[in-house]
A and B are shown apart, each in its own frame.
Chain A
Amino acid sequence: MHLSIAGGGFWAFKAPLQLNYYTKQEKLTTPHGTKLRFFIRLTIRPGMGTAAAKLNLRYVPAEFRDLSETGTQVTHTGGCTSAHPLQLSQLPLQLDLNSSWTEYLMRHTRKTVGDWLVVIETTHLPLASSSVLISQTGCFSQPNQSKRKKKRRNSRMAAVPLPEFPMWAKFGYRFIVNNFVTLFLVGPMTAVGWELLQLGPDEITALWRSLQQKPIESLSAVFSVAFVAALYFVSRPRPVYLVDYACFKPPSTCRVPAATFMEHTRLINSDEKSVQFQTRILERSGLGEETCLPPANHYIPPNPTMEASRAEAQLVIFSAIDDLMKKTGLRPKDVDVLVVNCSLFSPTPSLSAMIINRYKLRSNVRSFNLSGMGCSAGLISIDLARDLLQVHPRANALVVSTEIITPNFYAGNQRSMLLPNCLFRMGAAAILLSNRRREAGRAKYRLAHVVRTHKGADDRAYRCVYEEEDAEGHSGISLSKDLMAIAGEALKSNITTMGPLVLPMSEQLLFALNLVGRKLLNPEWKPYIPDFKQAFDHFCIHAGGRAVIDELQKSLQLSAEHVEASRMTLHRFGNTSSSSLWYELNYIESKGRMRRGDRVWQIGFGSGFKCNSAVWKCLRTIKAPVDGPWTDCIDRYPVDIPEIVKL
């Protein structure tokens, strides 16, 4: 059982006392074998007397009602004077804490009961009232069994369903709430309009004369209104446009049909069990017959040399950028920012330097090469490019997202590490972002929001996609079974931030009412899941695997059409890591579904564990035959993907 510490903050802070703290996390095996080290340093300004600090670590059980029921596990305390600043460790002392504080902490750290609660309190003795409380709660401290029990109890608790309303009531409610301001203004506007219409010609000329008599005032009024409007437009944050993007289309010579894949696997791997395992995975993976692996992986056994890896990188990245330059007419000299992300292959000089070398970019280009950031790194690059474009006016940013498969072939027999072999396929995307106003005319999308969530503080989430060596020394990426659950949790955190930014008023109001109702009226009401279909028209969910897409479809209550792009991308191109989101977007465009004003939500998941999402707003309707990786096969899609394709 692992315990991790997350959340927390300062409360009730008094001026002369300064509390500095941080946690140092050790591996925790059981609640009793806990090793938690806290460093607390108290600093007092000279002449301010003494201070004391107490550290209290408690286990709050799941049936928590009142803190007085719980036993204190560990308590440390110490004090210091202004002459001797102190570092606190292991001194026992009792601490009683009233329950109102605990409830407050629980509420503010958004943690449920059944967690560890660590309370650090310091008191400044000359001012008895001044105290600082820091709470840190750990999550997932429950062993699996009790978690299941909890789940069952939750399902029993969810006996009270939300009331169902007829369709017309829903529409009426949404119309009224979402257009509240407009409806509110309609009344006064019509009144004013009516008054103006009723004015006779004499009254109008009289008004005009009175204005003419005071030309300076009226001019300055017009001027000041214009000035304020101009100021508003200038001071708005610079919009970031996605001018266009291009995805790499792997050559058909790199194709890996299931039969080829299995035959190669049998030849490479002598262990019958792992071959069978890989067959089972491939049957259920949802991958089609046209996914591609780099040339080096077609050798038996694969030869993952650095040269071959560079060759793959050059093939996928340069093809994508060439395509993008052809589409947009971008000249290499016009690139101001270059961001490249590739998780598992980081040569020196970096891939960004490789691009600079190939296209002869300017010497003052700002290049960044992100590595090891997993499948969700594509949106991290977008986030970074956005930040850079906010700072540098009139700039073009070239973002390249890819994953190089060659060096990451796993040759061992550990099942969790064999999974990536079956799922990951080659792919790359090059995206041109710009903040030049004149690009607004031809740009495809405008970036509305990027929200990043990093669940790395939780051990289970951190370990669920993990590079390591097996017993025989073969290095590979191990995927844990908890992945789906963790992806769901990460998505939940991401949505918590994203929701208020994008959801229409009607959904937010319902959510708030439901929350208040559950707190005040009936705690057994089912929590309201906001309808994200109200906020977005298209969804690009990272094609990590069939189970991930299933999980998201369920938790976001999406229809089959909403996840079609993800499923079909997985079928046609496999898991192309960070670039998969762009293949999906291209699928939607190729199907002719992207209209002006549509909002697209891209959600990426990746090792760390991270969940990043971006919202794009479509600026122009994109007509159907779109030049891209789907050109020659879009007519065949969507295809039916059976649960198991027997090999």
Chain B
Amino acid sequence: MDLLWTISTALLLCSLLSILWKESDRRRNRNCYLLDFVCYKPSDDRKLSTELCSDIIARNKRLSVPDYKFLLKAVVNSGISEETYGPRSIIEGREECPTHDDCVDEVDDCMYRTLDQLFLRTGVSPIDVDVLVVNVSMFAPSPSLTSRIVNRYSMREDVKTFSLAGMGCSASPIAIDLVNNIFKTRKRTLAVVVTSESIAPNWYCGTDKSMMLGNCLFRSGGCSFMLTNDPSLRHRAKMSLKCLVRAHIGADDDAYSCAIQKEDDEGRVGFHLSKSLPKAAVRAFAENLQRLAPKVLPVGELALYAVRGLRHRLWRSKEAKTDAATAARVNFKSGVDHFCLHTGGAAVIDAVGRALGLAKYDVEPARMTLHRWGNTSASSLWYVLGYMEAKKRLRRKDRVLMLSFGAGFKCNSCLWEVLRDLNDGGAWEDCIRAYPPQTLVNPFMEKFRWVKEA
């Protein structure tokens, strides 16, 4: 019987130890670290200056004076400068019928340049990459862009590739979500994500105003970043992922069709941005914040919110308030230090800033990114992050919230914790000193006042 006793104790001990071991292992491997990110900086000859923009507009013979007036108003209010980049095919005058090679070249340049630099900077060999995700929303050649990368960098045969398309401007957190889920099933995994947007095949040459708006905002840009869950690389990591929330309100018809790629009356494909977009954005935003707030805010703030909500319900305040307004009463600054907002446009940034109760200082990175790079779609978050890093704002233990909106309609957010003081210049290296500039006004109004007066 002593033997029985010993055996049962040993078994119990062993199983307890294995539980402990598994749990600690799970905890160690659960994290998702951002090793490095590289934002794409196209060559200077791709800058869209005021003259070039006016040339492009003049080339389109379908436009009339009212269209010019609309475009001028849109560009002046857009908040983008002369420094933004466009694809080469548009600069060379082939926006009407870009070839397949044009589109591929644009994405190639972005992917290869950023990845070259990423591999050099992190010192990781492409052979060690386990997961590769590319998200380019509006261009999906076959073989996919992931295969292009696998081919160029000669990656392993068992690399897991995912090419996400059509997921809109908020695809970056979706890619992170995908990688994060794979991290939970595999230990010591290294993932590379490329996030970009292809402008060349999506330039709209028609006269539908809701589609011309896209031309004024969307610009070339991209970013590659490397994620890992290997605890031994923690000391080299820049940030670690704390939480990620995805909200998709596509079930609502208005929200689904407020940003959609379709044909205009004359059969030209364009990206239609409807008037109901702000409403959809607010709804998606509120949906997201509702789930995000309990995860990021300190308990005190949450208790305060609960008390306020209760009071609100008890007194039945007469004024009907939207969800966003209720959410706004929460002080997000108590749980988050920096805000990376999607640079959808000047109005979007301001609206989100107001809804979150942010100061001018907090929305400055997003405004400056819009000014310098334009709306680079999914990659814009990383330019904003790059700005903060270049400005040496990101200190150890700071918490950074990324918030993005995209067609679908989606609002995705993720919270990062900075692991060490960051002060890399990145893509902003040569121009960070000039920011923030005295004025964000672009010279369009000055040069084309005659259009307004015509």
- Write out, one digit per residue, whether chain B residues 235-255 have a CB within 8 A of any chain A CB (1) or not (0): 000000000001111111100
Question: Which B residues lie within 8 Å of A214 (CB)?
Answer: 1, 4-5
Question: Which A residues lie within 8 Å of B259 (CB)?
Answer: 348-349
Q: Is the pair B142, A363 in contact by a Cβ cutoff of 8 Å?
A: no
Q: Is A411 on the interface with B (CB-CB < 8 A)?
A: no
Q: Is the pair A390, B291 in contact by a Cβ cutoff of 8 Å?
A: no
Q: Is A235 on the interface with B (CB-CB < 8 A)?
A: yes
Question: Which B residues lie within 8 Å of A180 (CB)?
Answer: none
Q: Is A283 on the interface with B (CB-CB < 8 A)?
A: no
Among listed B7-15, B320-328, B340-348, B442-450, interface-contacting one: B7-15
Q: Is B86 on the interface with A (CB-CB < 8 A)?
A: no
- Write out, one digit per residue, whether chain B residues 124-146 have a CB within 8 A of any chain A CB (1) or not (0): 11110000000001101111111
Q: Is A353 on the interface with B (CB-CB < 8 A)?
A: yes
Report A146 CB to chain B, min CB distance, Å: 23
Question: Which B residues lie within 8 Å of A608 (CB)?
Answer: 143-144, 147, 150, 161
Q: Is A173 on the interface with B (CB-CB < 8 A)?
A: no
Q: Which of B100, B166, B178, B253 has the most CB of A within 10 A?
A: B166
Among listed A89-97, A219-227, A533-541, A584-592, interface-contacting one: A219-227
Number of A interface residues at 8 Å Cβ cutoff, please give it. Answer: 92
Question: Which B residues lie within 8 Å of A307 (CB)?
Answer: 262-263
Q: Is the pair A228, B157 in contact by a Cβ cutoff of 8 Å?
A: no
Q: Is the pair A457, B15 in contact by a Cβ cutoff of 8 Å?
A: no
Known: A217-B1, A373-B163, A457-B154. A366 touches B177 (CB 8 A): yes
Q: Which of B145, B178, B259, B408 has the most CB of A within 10 A?
A: B408
Among listed B180-188, B223-231, B352-360, interface-contacting one: B180-188
Among listed A58-66, A241-249, A465-473, interface-contacting one: A465-473
Known: A347-B261, A349-B168, A369-B164. A41 touches B120 (CB 8 A): yes
Known: A350-B166, A350-B408, A374-B143. A235 touches B251 (CB 8 A): no
Q: Is A289 on the interface with B (CB-CB < 8 A)?
A: no
Classify the interface of chain B: helix, strand, loop or mixed. mixed
Q: Which of B4, B124, B155, B407 has the most CB of A within 10 A?
A: B4
Q: Is the pair A231, B123 in contact by a Cβ cutoff of 8 Å?
A: no
Q: Is B260 on the interface with A (CB-CB < 8 A)?
A: yes
Q: Is the pair B142, A343 in contact by a Cβ cutoff of 8 Å?
A: yes
Question: Which B residues lie within 8 Å of A356 (CB)?
Answer: 248, 250-251, 256, 408
- In the complex, A6 Cα to B141 Cα: how many Å? 24
Q: Is the pair B151, A456 in contact by a Cβ cutoff of 8 Å?
A: yes
- Write out, one digit per residue, whether chain B residues 1-29 have a CB within 8 A of any chain A CB (1) or not (0): 10011011101101100110010000000
Q: Is the pair A373, B178 in contact by a Cβ cutoff of 8 Å?
A: no
Q: Is the pair B142, A372 in contact by a Cβ cutoff of 8 Å?
A: yes
Among listed A159-167, A379-387, A499-507, A593-601, interface-contacting one: A379-387
- In the complex, A305 Cα to B265 Cα: how many Å? 12
Q: Is B68 on the interface with A (CB-CB < 8 A)?
A: no
Residues in A12-26 with C-beta less than 8 Å from chain B = 18, 20-25
Q: Is the pair A462, B119 in contact by a Cβ cutoff of 8 Å?
A: no
Known: A468-B100, A607-B147. A371 touches B165 (CB 8 A): yes
Question: Which A residues lie within 8 Å of B307 (CB)?
Answer: none
Return 26 A-B CB contacts under 8 Å, by A number. Answer: A22-B120, A25-B154, A210-B1, A218-B4, A220-B12, A228-B11, A231-B18, A346-B137, A346-B166, A347-B260, A348-B260, A348-B407, A353-B410, A354-B256, A363-B287, A365-B248, A370-B162, A372-B140, A372-B144, A373-B144, A373-B163, A384-B178, A388-B181, A454-B159, A457-B150, A607-B142
Interface on B for A, CB 8 Å cutoff? Answer: 1, 4-5, 7-9, 11-12, 14-15, 18-19, 22, 97, 99-101, 116, 119-120, 123-127, 137-138, 140-148, 150-168, 174, 177-178, 181-182, 184-185, 246-253, 256, 259-263, 267, 269, 271, 287, 291, 407-410
